[in-house]
Amino acid sequence: MSSISTFPDVMEKLVSLAKRRGFIFQSSEIYGGTGSVWDYGPLGVELKKNLKDRWWNAMVRMRDDIEGLDAAILMHPRVWEASGHVAGFTDPLVDCRNCKRRFRADDPKIKGTPGTPDAQCPACGMKGTLSEARLFNLMFRTFMGPVEDTASVVYLRPETAQGIYVNFLNVQQSTRQKVPFGIAQIGKAFRNEITPGNFIFRTREFEQMEMQFFVDPAANHMEWFEYWKAQRMEWHRMLGLREERLQFHQHDPQELAHYARAAFDIQFDFGGTLGFQEIEGVHHRGDFDLGRHQEYSGKKLEYFDQPNNRRYVPFVIETSVGADRTLLAVLVNAYREEQVAGEEEGRTVLAIHPSLAPVKAGVFPLVKKDGMPEMAMRLANELRRHFPVFYDESGAIGRRYRRQDEVGTPFGVTIDGQSTTDQTVTVRDRDTLQQERVDISRVAGVLRERLAA
């Protein structure tokens, strides 16, 4: 479901900036690329790490009721039978007998009903060549061990959540957590998506940041659901995503999984024709997952409530957000082209939250002489002990500022003629373009303070 947005479509510009500046490259590009798989370059890996750190800090480190986990990608194949993915993680697909392309059966570009003579292939335009819809499983399959037979089939996980469910008692008993509590993890997931695209919006390999919160079914579980909805929306706001670009979308009864008691998506407005799209799901999953794993494994997954001498299978409230998709939202939200007063050339700026910025400060000697480079290098080395810094002495100073604006560096520190005499430098703010003179000994402190704000 998308709606045409009032925000412009900046995707193409972002794809080009991301490649040019080393955020994101197409995977295996020299071989013509791999379909919908992307590699993160030097700046991209920092940005993504900062984003994941913010999530980990908010969800695990700052709380005493959530524990972290890093489960393996490969799991016992029965996990995916229990979870419902073997039987149900499917998309209906149609094939064109003429051009051999595949489409989702609900692709709006298909005219007519697939399987009938009037249906027209959206790629080659032939009529009557589209097959009836067939179900196609989105999980990647491979074989474990030396024998490639049905007994050795394993799947690349299509979500990280199952690693949490199967470890529910391991974590609870080893940490002695009491319900309500949660388990969080960040990790890769794989889906053989049929209509991937829009850069890193829908890819075949991506990272999820998921948290499963276990609550007492006899207690206030709907309050916890509301709590997590609000918390997660607030987290996206704190990333700097603009208020008017965020909204909740409630799943209606047709969209709702049969076991789910309630589900909301947090949507972000990506601009252009993509419009509002899901970046995170907040789901009340009842006791479906733990119940199914109990059934399929034959092992009890009950929580023992000692004070009340009760045993029960907890309900689960899940929050599931894509790291790559949120990173794309951050870039879309931050991208600006603007005029600068008194200058002919405009600038492109990524106004990303300072805590996410891959580089925190650019350090520039105004000119390459008179002791300025030495002083600037000394300062850069000192600042590097606290955060990533980029030292640049080449080209006009305006150009050097622009290059850092374009990758979202929040501060530019310039060492000029005055610096070598009075030990002060200028600190330029990416967003306001204001410059102020600061004593060189105070630069690290001032910047750290502003980065922490």
Q: Exposed (0-12), middle (13-18) or buried (19+): which is 176, by Cβ within 10 Å? A: exposed
The reply to whether 414 sits near ligand ATP by the rule CB under 6 A is no
Interface residue with ligand ATP, options 233, 279, 356, 380 (CB under 6 A): 279
76: CB partners within 8 A, 6+ apart? none
Q: Give whichever of 209 and 447 is closer to ligand ATP, judged by the CB atom.
A: 209
The reply to whether 206 sits near ligand ATP by the rule CB under 6 A is yes
What is the C-alpha separation between 1 and 44, in angstroms, rounded? 29
The reply to whether 286 sits near ligand ATP by the rule CB under 6 A is no
Interface residue with ligand ATP, options 325, 347, 353, 430 (CB under 6 A): 325
Whose CA is closest to 71, among 191, 189, 223? 189
Peptide bond into 42 cis (omega under 30): no
- Given a contact cutoff of 8 angstroms between Cβ atoms, the answer to whether 130 and 110 are in contact is yes
The reply to whether 203 sits near ligand ATP by the rule CB under 6 A is yes
CB 253 → ligand ATP: shortest distance, Å?
Answer: 16
Interface residue with ligand ATP, options 120, 177, 208, 409 (CB under 6 A): 208
Interface residue with ligand ATP, options 198, 320, 333, 424 (CB under 6 A): 320
CB 209 → ligand ATP: shortest distance, Å?
Answer: 9
CB 366 → ligand ATP: shortest distance, Å?
Answer: 44
Interface residue with ligand ATP, options 281, 358, 410, 412 (CB under 6 A): 281
Residues in the chain, total:
453
The reply to whether 107 sits near ligand ATP by the rule CB under 6 A is no
Dihedral of CA 350/351/355/361: which sign? positive
Instruction: Report which residue type is found at 51.
Output: L
DSSP code string of 384-418: HTTS-EEE--SS-HHHHHHHHHHTT--EEEEE-HH
How many residues touch ligand ATP under the rule CB under 6 A: the total is 16
- Given a contact cutoff of 8 angstroms between Cβ atoms, the answer to whether 249 and 264 are in contact is yes
Residue nearest to ligand ATP (CB): 322
CB 210 → ligand ATP: shortest distance, Å?
Answer: 8
CB 80 → ligand ATP: shortest distance, Å?
Answer: 14
No. of H helices and E strands in the chain? 13, 23
CB 280 → ligand ATP: shortest distance, Å?
Answer: 5
Residue 59 structure tokens: 């969800």
CB 204 → ligand ATP: shortest distance, Å?
Answer: 7
Instruction: Report which residue type is found at 237.
Output: R
Interface residue with ligand ATP, options 193, 287, 370, 382 (CB under 6 A): 193
The reply to whether 187 sits near ligand ATP by the rule CB under 6 A is no
Binding site residues, ligand ATP, CB under 6 A: 159, 191, 193, 202-203, 206, 208, 278-281, 320-322, 324-325
